[in-house]
Chains A and B, each alone.
Chain A
Amino acid sequence: MEILQLIQSNLLTPIVLFFLFGIIAARIKSDLKIPEAISEFLPIYLLAAIGLHGGLEMRNTGFENMLIPMLVAIGLSLLFTLNHYQILKRLGKFNIFDSYALASTYGAVGAVTFSVGLSFLKTQGVTSEGYLAAVLAVLEPVAFIMAIFLTNMAISKQIRIKKQSFTNDSKSDIDVGIDETKTKLSKILKESITGKAIVILLGSIVIGYIIGEDGFSSIRIVFDEMFTGAIVIFMIEMGIIAGQRLDDIKKVGVFLTAFAIVMPTFNGIIGVVVATLMGLSLGGSVMFGLLLASASFIAAPAVLRNAIPQANPSLYITSALGITFPYNIIVLLPIMFAISSLLHDPEGSIDLFNYGLKDLI
């Protein structure tokens, strides 16, 4: 079958091989490690490259048709976060903090996954809409903000119920609690918007848009030709970190392991289908699906550890980095590419569309 072939050939790409190599290096307890400064630098570099490409593409294709995909992406991300929460809380029996933290980790986007997706499309000789980089930037804080808001609401509700059983005139305390929630939220909103990921991404989009192809040609060697190479180096680091966490996966439990695989598949395929319906290109639909499928593992701990400190960080980091990330780049990416190719088949009418879906799910 075509999908299996795609997965197989994807397994033998440098990105995946170096990731697996990193896992092995960690398992045999090698002291191999990427110097700290480089592993901190690479996400910034990747975001800058993504932003520049996005800006360039937007200059060529315009961004007036960006609004609808962006709003749809935000809507889906919020919807998925709520959906994750219900599944985790009701079926997984996680406590409210872990449920919200995990729900938003999976509702948020992964910039590294996004870079791998871009590189995958490059290998396949397919382009994607540049404005998806802007969607990535906008989507980054959305799921967290909602989860944090809902967690705080739930906490103040609990406090209110407790207070009411003691005394009746505790209104001022509740108001104080709500005010605290508000200041906390606005602080988190400000911090995530001024956070390095969004700043470098938006800055590069603007610069890419201004400089255009002419200006870009002088930096092409760094931001275009070296892109996949840089991801490969980062993949060693990701592999090592994931390898060190393999033992933790046992602690994550069967339910969360299944969740970490089933949920991205579900979200990603819906993303591809919705993007196709909105008229995105073959590559654009894959990237749209990937945005919704990916889980955040670099931004998530930084945001959630402060906002929902009660949640257990090893749950959301391990499942996002140790399970979902490898699954996404090795298996789900080719699957989404195959689905998107099928949906974008020139002979593909609506009939084929439905048939194809039935066949794949």
Chain B
Amino acid sequence: MKLYPVKLLTITCEILAQKNIMEILTKNKITGYTTYEVNGNGARGVRGQGLQNEKNVKIEIILREEKLQDIVEEVSRTLFANFAIVLYVSDVGVLRTEKF
């Protein structure tokens, strides 16, 4: 089995910031992602209780390293200051590299 190295970008943020992230992804021609609604606790307190709008969302994007830089730069520039958000990058291996 041959695995090709790509990057996994994981962003956990306020559900109301999801739209902004999606716009950034579209701008960088990324079409594939997975989202799920999550709860948690962090610098901005417990999130996910009560109102739907105060939930968090976790977005996973598998992408090639070339595109990573721009996306991470734009997310951190536009969203870090005002939203509850965490972002990290990990190395993953995929079978079908042409999909990403």
Contact = CB atoms under 8 A, between A and B. Distances in A.
Interface of A: 36, 39-40, 240-241, 244-245, 298, 301-302, 305-306, 309-310, 313-314, 317
Contacts of B28: none
B70 to A, nearest CB: 19
A244 B51 CA distance: 11
Nearest to B53: A301
Nearest to B44: A314
A302 B50 contact: no
B19 A301 contact: no
Contact of B53 (A305, A309, A310, A314): A305
A20 to B, nearest CB: 17
Interface in B58-81: 81
29 contacts: A36-B52, A39-B52, A240-B50, A241-B49, A241-B50, A241-B51, A244-B49, A244-B50, A245-B50, A298-B51, A298-B53, A301-B16, A301-B51, A301-B53, A301-B54, A302-B16, A302-B53, A305-B14, A305-B16, A305-B17, A306-B16, A306-B19, A306-B20, A309-B82, A310-B82, A313-B54, A314-B45, A317-B51, A317-B54
B4 interface: no
A310 B20 CA distance: 14
Contacts of A240: 50
Contacts of B45: 314
A241 B46 CA distance: 13
Contacts of B81: 310
A236 to B, nearest CB: 12
Interface residues of B, number: 15
Contacts of A298: 51, 53
Nearest to B79: A309
A240 B82 CA distance: 27
Nearest to B83: A309
Nearest to A308: B82
A313 B19 CA distance: 17
The 4 closest A-B pairs by CB, nearest first: A309-B82, A241-B50, A305-B16, A301-B53
A309 B13 CA distance: 13
Interface string B31-52: 0000000000000010001111
Contacts of A36: 52
A313 B16 CA distance: 11
A240 B49 CA distance: 10
A124 to B, nearest CB: 30
Residue of A39, A245, A313 with most partner-chain B CB within 10 A: A313
Given A240-B50, A244-B50, 13 more contacts: A40-B52, A241-B50, A245-B50, A301-B51, A301-B53, A305-B14, A305-B16, A305-B17, A305-B53, A306-B20, A310-B81, A313-B54, A317-B51
A201 to B, nearest CB: 18
Contacts of A305: 14, 16-17, 53
Nearest to B49: A244
Of B19, B50, B53, chain A has the most CB atoms within 10 Å of the CB of B50
A36 B82 CA distance: 27
Interface centre among A301, A305, A317 (most CB of B within 10 A): A305
